[in-house]
Amino acid sequence: MRILLLTHAFNSLTQRLSAELQLRGHEISIEFDIADSVTEEAVTLFRPEIIVAPYLRRAIPESVWSQYRCLIVHPGVVGDRGPSALDWAIQEGASEWGVTVLQAESEMDAGPVWASANFPMRAVKKSSLYRHEVTKAATSAVLLAVERAAGQDFQPQRPCSSQWRPLMRQAERRIDWQLDGSATVLRKMGAADGFPGVADHLFGQDCHLFDAWPESERRGSPGTVIGRRATALLRATTDGAVWIGHVKLGHSIKLPATLAFQDESLTVPELPLAGWWRAAAPTWQDIAYDETGVVGFLHFEFYNGAMSTAQCERLREALAWAKQRPVRILVLMGGADFWSNGIHLNVIEAASLNNGSAADESWRNINAMNDLARDVINTQQQLTVAALGGNTGAGGCFLARAADLVWARDGVMLNPHYKNMGNLYGSEYWTYLLPRRVGEDAALAIMRDRQPLTAQRAVEIGFTDACLSEDSGVFRAEVAQRAADLASDPHFEARLGEKLAARTRDEAVKPLSAYREEELMHMRRNFYGFDPSYHIARHHFVRKSPLSWTPRHLARHRDLGWRIP
Ligand code: COA
């Protein structure tokens, strides 16, 4: 079928659906929901047999849904209606939730149901639920709905009963620090992450709070900030305390809490952890190491996968420490929702807000990423594995590829390209790491075409080495087992020797420093040259400016040569 994906953004769910539908032979084009007239123009050009809306923030115009079958992905169970479906489900502690694919009509979310899928709830933040359970359920429900729509027999039914839940307001999200215990605070902040956050005050200033973590030991006077650790602040509740990782001040951008409150943070005590080992009890720990036998696991739970200069430097320290451990395999686990999305665009933007230079901070950040990637490549005593349990994009993909092996969870989306960010050239040794895996031509095509890769496709083209189970728990168990097998392989020493010999040969042909220098020459132009595209793109990305057009590489119906087959 010819399917138009109408969406607010090309987010990871839309990327996944686009890839899965193409895999099943459907012809896909994408249009961003910018204005009714743009949507009308898109359907006139593409004449879709069906429209699928994975992620919309407004209603489809009647002129479109009255003429074309439009299937809406609603992140709620059958009968649930309204714009804050996941927020209510999390806040009210639902034990099971789901995704419904329903046909657009005049009343929002009230149309006949084409498919649905349910899942047990997990006590996590909304964005995490979205990137795991919701994405999986939405994918299976959309594929079933499209299959049903392609046939003649299926008659979609209206739900027997339905309930309209309004937009959740800040009044309902409000935290009462004198009454709410940690579990309630975690649930309220979880229901609001990564958007819109919980409106609150910190150090006497209006702000929105994001990224809550539990704390098991420390206490204080409810509502007061009682400590800091790296980028996070600790705030006391009635029965303990919670860590606040990110904050948005007024109309500014979302930032690590101790950066948003740079001066104020210094007035509270620092509460460092003793080292890199995973703490025995829950607390805020963005970098954590654990070990099973001769396999070491390095976790880095950086919010949204964004890695600032300081985070790269700390991770590099942790990596250097882990390399000294008596282990044969080092597994770089990344975070639960993202492995890495490259340099930290919000922290870079913040440099310009504080009269500093975004160009200088970009330069520092890319160099810190490069130092980290180089240290991964140059691991002498261990074989390294990047285990991608979450999505990864831009420089994050090449940081992963710096490892000897890359294993990804099925369902993860990879975006191993940079150009979407204002034509950024990219670094992280991609010019060394990519062609040797996929070939020169394919490397250039990946960079040029800017298409996301599914975990399965990434293995097919040779970018990664394995695609493992979709279920996160099963994935982690498989990673641990495979890593243990590698470590006990009788050919381990020979394998390590081959890797070191290959690196020595490569270095003799062209040193890593030369790849880096060439890439940075382009990046210097991106950051300091007179074409400001990267700075403009970053400005709009971090402020979430409304999109004004759909890029041509996605809106295939806008290709000049495109014809209905
Ligand atoms: N720096 C700062 N924030 C980043 C980021 C980065 N490099 N990459 C992603 N984010 C943030 C997004 O702004 C968003 O923030 P929110 O929590 O306020 O909504 C959040 O991470 C999730 O991003 P989203 O785009 O919704 O995730 P996705 O899984 O649907 O898409 C990508 C993933 C990688 C396609 C997309 O996030 C992206 O294009 N990121 C930019 C990558 C980049 O250009 N990095 C710099 C060059 S190395």
Of all helices (H) and strands (E), which one includes residue 519?
helix 512-528
Which residues sit opposite 117 in a β-bridge? 99
Average pLDDT, the chain: 97
pLDDT, tens only, 516-557: 999 999 999 999 999 999 999 999 999 999 999 999 999 999
pLDDT digits (tens, 9 = 90+) for 236-266: 999 999 999 999 998 899 999 999 999 999 9
Examine the pLDDT at 74 and tell me if it is beyond 80.
yes
Q: State whether the beta carbon of 395 lies less than 6 angstroms from ligand 1.
A: yes
The Å distance, Cα 304 to ligand 1 centre, comes to 6
Ligand 1 center to 342 CA (angstroms): 9
| Spatial distance between the Cα atoms of 124 and 212, rounded to a whole number of angstroms | 10
φ/ψ of residue 211, rounded to 5: 65, 65
CB of 394 closer than 6 angstroms to any ligand 1 atom: yes
Pair of tokens at residue 490: 């009788």
Report the separation in Å between the CA atom of 519 and the middle of ligand 1, taken as the mean of its atom positions.
22
Interatomic CA distance for residues 267 and 224, integer angstroms: 12
Identify the burial level of 509 via C-beta atoms within 10 angstroms of its C-beta, where 0-12 means exposed, 13-18 middle and 19 or more buried: exposed
Q: Is the CB of 84 under 6 A from ligand 1?
A: no
Beta carbon of 52 within 6 Å of any ligand 1 atom: no
- The count of C-alpha atoms lying within 13 angstroms of the C-alpha of 457, restricted to the half-sphere facing its C-beta, is 18
Predicted confidence (pLDDT) per residue in 276-312, tens digit = 999 999 999 999 999 999 999 999 999 999 999 999 9
pLDDT band at residue 118 under the 50/70/90 scheme: very high
- Please say whether the beta carbons of 170 and 198 come within 8 A: yes
Q: Which atom of ligand 1 is nearest to the CA of 131?
A: 29
Strands 287-292 and 295-300: antiparallel
CA atoms of 472 and 162, how far apart (whole Å): 32
Spacing, Cα 515 to ligand 1 middle (Å): 26
Task: Provide the pLDDT confidence category of residue 354 given band limits of 50, 70 and 90.
Answer: confident
Find the mean pLDDT for residues 559-565: 76
- Centre of ligand 1 to C-alpha 403, Å, is 22
Q: Which atom of ligand 1 is nearest to the CA of 452?
A: 35
* pLDDT value at 435 more than 90: yes
Check pLDDT > 90 for residue 320: yes
Q: Read off the pLDDT band of 77 (50, 70, 90).
A: very high
Question: Residue 355: what pLDDT?
Answer: 83
What is the reported pLDDT for 304?
98
Q: What average pLDDT does this structure show over 385-409?
A: 98
pLDDT tens digits for range 18-65 = 999 999 999 999 999 999 999 999 999 999 999 999 999 999 999 999
* Closest to 364 measured CA to CA, from 350, 377, 378, 385: 350
Strands 96-103 and 198-202: unpaired
Cα 29 to Cα 557: distance, rounded to the nearest angstrom: 6
pLDDT band at 384; cut points 50, 70, 90: very high
pTM: 0.97
Residue 7 beta carbon below 6 angstroms from any ligand 1 atom: no
Nearest residue CA, atom 16 of ligand 1?
A: 194
In this structure, the residue with its CA closest to atom 26 of ligand 1 is 11
Ligand 1 atom closest to the Cα of residue 12 is 30
CA of 106 to the centre of ligand 1 (A): 33
pLDDT tens, 202-237?
A: 999 999 999 999 999 999 999 999 999 999 999 999
Rounded average pLDDT over 73-92 = 97
Residue 559 pLDDT exceeds 90: no
Regarding the beta carbon of 223 and ligand 1, being less than 6 Å apart is answered no
392 Cα nearest atom in ligand 1? 34
Which pLDDT value is given to residue 562?
75
**Buried/exposed 295-323: b ≥16 CB within 10 Å, e otherwise:** bbbbbbbbbbbbbbbbbbebbbebbeebb
Q: What percent of the chain has pLDDT over 70?
A: 100
Residue pair 5/52 in contact (Cβ under 8 Å)? The answer is yes
Could you tell me the domains of the chain? Answer: 2-154 (3.40.50.170), 170-265 (3.10.25.10), 287-542 (3.90.226.10)
Q: Whose CA is nearest to atom 44 of ligand 1?
A: 421
pLDDT tens digits along 479-516? 999 999 999 999 999 999 999 999 999 999 999 999 99
Phi, psi of 271 (to 5 degrees): -120, 70
